[in-house]
Structure 1
Amino acid sequence: MSGPVPVPSEPCGTVVPAVEPAVRRKRTGERRAEIVTVAARTFAEQGYSNVGMRDIADALGIRSASLYHHFSSKEEILYAICLSVTREPVEENLPLLDAAGTPAERLTALVRAHIRHLLRRRVEFLVGLHERSSLTPEHRAEIDGYLHFYNRRVRDVLAAGMRGGEFRELNPSLAALGLLDMLNGVSSWIRGEQDADTDEVVETYTAMLFHGLAERLAPERAGPRH
């Protein structure tokens, strides 16, 4: 007489392991970061307007449905790219301006961190620079807010250094704009450590910013004083 096929049961006391929420969040975060990196490269190579969600999914080697599980639209991916070069520096770099030390010491630390972050996020920075106008007004306003806040913090530490006599007295707002423009310009020519050593870039830029290019003249070369 035949009967139902017995189904093996788990041994008494056996617990089937479940994915911990923290592990799941980590995996999700890593997948989103991968999507942002690949999408930034795709946008940089083909242009934001020429790329669709299917193109990004193909570049990642996943199905479109899997991509939509993490991002609802191409614009949302662009928004995440822009956050990686605006909110991320605010969170990672600006605490250096609140550390102990003189304005010059704190600003030097920021310059070093800024360049290193820019080299790490070079493609994302260029995409954000050229494609930010494609964001929704709400997302664009948030990104601009991070940029303005970062600039204001740099301006304030420059102003503090000027008041204390560490820096020349200049318009601190213009000085902050010029400093950040010089730093961000690294992204237009450097391609990573294969073209120039990161440490050398950092050292050269900090030397130019805080010591200038003119060689200090010895007293005998400085000319007569009147």
Structure 2
Amino acid sequence: MTAPDESEVVVPRQIRTRRRKEDIAAKAAEIFARDGYANVGMRDIADAVGIKGASLYHHFPSKEDILFAVCLTVTQVPVEETLPLLDAPGTPTERMSSLVRAHLVHLNSRRVEYIVGLHELASLTTEHRAIVEDYRRQYQRRVRDVVAAGMRTGEFTVPDARLASFALTDMLNGISNWFHDDGELSIEDVADNYVELAVRRLLGARA
């Protein structure tokens, strides 16, 4: 019996709807980054995606809801998909190394969304901004906890876990300012080097 052709596989409606919303948010992020959130209307987004305005409103009630979805791709998603690496088996050094790699790969894949979220956070409603900031705090807190665990085991030599965690995440997020996939280095190359710089040098992990 031959496997069904990929084009013949029926994708559940819920998954199709989720993917469509993700596509809309990704395209909107590009427009927000290029033209500025305040200068973009729902019609601009609908035209860019290639759908009618009514269809866009079916997925997102407002432009602000789209911006919120953009921000969640670089806050909620890392909390749900990347942070579990810090709870995996292994030493603090091993778990932090895994996090550094995953953080950089995800950030590179969502570079535009990260930049938009960074510059347009104030455009969110108070409620949505609080949710985004809570996800950021969760991420920062877990990183700090593992740094502290490494300090207790003698693996990390930094004097302050809180300051070290801020320095680490700022260092990782900073690649959005300069890294491009069309350069000589791949994101995997950068990740390998950042493990050395962030975990070995910044945190002082013992070899």
TM-score (norm 2): 0.90
Compute the displacement of 1:212 (Å).
2.7
* Partner Cα distance (1:44, 1:97) in 2: 32
Match of 2:131 among 138, 142, 158: 142
Match of 2:65 among 76, 79, 83: 76
Quote the residue 1:161 is aligned against: 150
- 1:126 matched to 2:118? The reply is no
Match of 2:76 among 58, 74, 87: 87
Q: Percent identity?
A: 56
Runs ≥4 residues deviating over 6 A: none
Correspondence list, 1:186-197, <5 A: 186-191=175-180, 193-195=181-183, 196-197=185-186
Quote the residue 1:210 is aligned against: 199
Quote the residue 1:113 is aligned against: 102
Structure having the larger proportion of residues in helix: 2
Quote the residue 2:4 is aligned against: none
Compute the displacement of 1:26 (Å).
1.1
Larger Rg: 1
Compute the displacement of 1:211 (Å).
2.8
- 1:103 matched to 2:92? The reply is yes
Pairwise CA RMSD of aligned residues?
1.2
* Partner Cα distance (1:73, 1:108) in 2: 39
* Partner Cα distance (2:87, 2:193) in 1: 24
- Stretches of structure 2 that go unaligned for 5 or more consecutive residues are 1-9, 203-207
Specify the code of the residue in structure 2 equivalent to 1:110: L
Specify the code of the residue in structure 1 equivalent to 2:131: E
- 1:176 matched to 2:165? The reply is yes
Cα displacement string for residues 165-210 of structure 1 (whole angstroms, at most 9, x for unaligned residues): 000041111000000000000011112x212311111011111113
Instruction: After superposing the two structures, state which structure 1 stretch, 204-213 or 181-190, moved more.
Output: 204-213
Quote the residue 2:38 is aligned against: 49
What secondary structure does 1:166 align onto? coil
* Partner Cα distance (1:40, 1:49) in 2: 12
**How many residues are matched?**
192
* Partner Cα distance (2:158, 2:152) in 1: 8
Quote the residue 1:32 is aligned against: 21
What secondary structure does 1:156 align onto? helix
